[in-house]
Amino acid sequence: MIEPGSNAAPASYWIETEDWHTAGQPFRIVENLPEGHLPDATSVAARRTVVINTPFHPLGTLRQTLCHEPRGHADMYGGFIVPPNDSGAHFGVLFWHKDGFSTACGHGTIALGCWAVTRKLVQVPAEDGVVDVVIDVPSGRVSAKVAVKNRKPIHADFVNVSSYGVTTKIPVAIQSRGGDVMISLAYGGAYSASVDASQLELSVEPPNVSAFVAIGREIKAVLAGKNGPPPCGIYDVSGVIFFEDEAREPHDSVDTLRQRNVTIFADGQVDRSPCGSGTCARLATLLAEGKMRPGREKLVHRSIIGTVFEGDLVSQGENINGFPTCIPRVRGAANLVGRTKFFIDPEDPVYPGFLLG
């Protein structure tokens, strides 16, 4: 790190990433951080707090160089591998997006499970089966249960931290719509707001993505700083999920629910996948509404690009503020995109990167 007051420019260096995508959503993995970049703290959550509270922390700047143009783009996403909180997890991760560091990421957890199997960071048996990859993330300890065939990852089940509904269907005044929009809030490692898109007379289709970005930004701005019921305190809504019901398919059992969604997170970032933590928030909301029970219903959740996660509930726990807690599970598949060795040069005129729009 360059000390304040120092005139020395930080030196240039190379950094390696391995890029995956989960259901179309990018996940750029940095396994080895440059010296001096690991935030000084004893847990993953505390490391995140250090980096977001330290202006110009080198890890924050590295996030920008790998996420923003010209090495990334406004919808890029990734994670820095860090030590776990203790020996109970295989590793820890700090998730990042274009505006900062998030507390939870389901699509990233699925990608990390598949990555850990291919990198042989976990013991992969010769017989086909399921390998448990345990990961410390800022919201707690999660796991990716990776189905392995011929030692290759096929898909992974993201088993999340305890999740719960916070409010169901509260009216929120949205100026651009000229009235109230009904919103449900839930926690799935991060707080998400869900909005039935039929209220907006918008279908969850790619041509409507700009409209969803604009309304998602507006809803986040309206909720920002407002006091929610315990335990959430001041709302810090990470994503707005616009969902619609989809028709049952002929082979579906009576316990299958189908929905399509687009999640707008950070400041107008569009999730290409059905959003892992958002799917958990939807499952918790559906539980609160009496439409989902552990071991019974499953949610087939389609993204704006048509990719699919399947979610269900592993268990139900005690109520928080009148809503049942649950452990959600989300199945998705991740694929390797490539490996890159990036050159990071502080003397590059556009260092540490830029965004348009």
Ligand X SMILES: O=C(O)[C@H]1NCC[C@@H]1O
What distance in Å separates the CA atoms of residue 189 and residue 319, rounded to the nearest whole number? 17
8 A C-beta contact, residue 189 and residue 140: yes
Task: Enter the tokens of residue 250.
Answer: 């002929």
27 near ligand X (CB under 6 A): no
Of 26, 106, 165, 352, the one binding ligand X (CB under 6 A) is: 106
At which residue do the structure tokens 């000390």 appear? 3
Smaller CB separation from ligand X, 134 or 137: 137
Determine the residue type at 98. K
DSSP string for 244-292: EE-PPPTT--TTEEEEEEEEEETTTEE-SS--HHHHHHHHHHHHHTT--
By CB under 6 A, what part of segment 201-260 binds ligand X? 239
Smaller CB separation from ligand X, 91 or 265: 265
Write down the catalytic residue from 105, 114, 275, 326: 105
Smaller CB separation from ligand X, 95 or 323: 95
8 A C-beta contact, residue 93 and residue 113: no
277 near ligand X (CB under 6 A): yes
Minimum distance, C-beta of residue 333 to ligand X, in the bound complex (Å): 13
Scanning 103-111, 197-205, 313-321, 345-353 for contacts with ligand X by CB under 6 A, the matching segment is 103-111
Smaller CB separation from ligand X, 117 or 270: 270
Of 17, 61, 64, 102, the one binding ligand X (CB under 6 A) is: 102
Q: Is 280 a catalytic residue?
A: no
Determine the residue type at 271. D
Minimum distance, C-beta of residue 195 to ligand X, in the bound complex (Å): 16
DSSP string for 321-346: TTEEEEEEEEEE-EEEEEEEEEEE-T
Minimum distance, C-beta of residue 251 to ligand X, in the bound complex (Å): 27
Cis peptide before 294 (omega within 30 of 0): no
271 near ligand X (CB under 6 A): yes
Of 59, 94, 105, 327, the one binding ligand X (CB under 6 A) is: 105
Q: Are strands 191-196 and 308-320 parallel, antiparallel or unpaired?
A: unpaired
103 near ligand X (CB under 6 A): no
Scanning 82-90, 273-281, 297-305, 339-347 for contacts with ligand X by CB under 6 A, the matching segment is 273-281
Minimum distance, C-beta of residue 189 to ligand X, in the bound complex (Å): 7
Residue 147 has, within 13 A of its CA and on its CB side, a CA count of: 8
Minimum distance, C-beta of residue 135 to ligand X, in the bound complex (Å): 13
State which H helix or E strand residue 148 sits in: strand 140-149
By CB under 6 A, what part of segment 65-84 binds ligand X? 77
268 near ligand X (CB under 6 A): no
Specify whether the backbone of 309 is left (phi greater than 0), alpha (psi in -120 to 50) or beta: beta
Determine the residue type at 134. V
Scanning 59-67, 112-120, 275-283, 311-319 for contacts with ligand X by CB under 6 A, the matching segment is 275-283
Cα–Cα distance list, 96 to 28, 37, 62, 76, 195 (Å): 9, 15, 10, 9, 25
Binding site for ligand X (CB under 6 A): 25, 77, 102, 104-107, 239, 265, 271, 273, 275-278
* Active site amino acids: 105
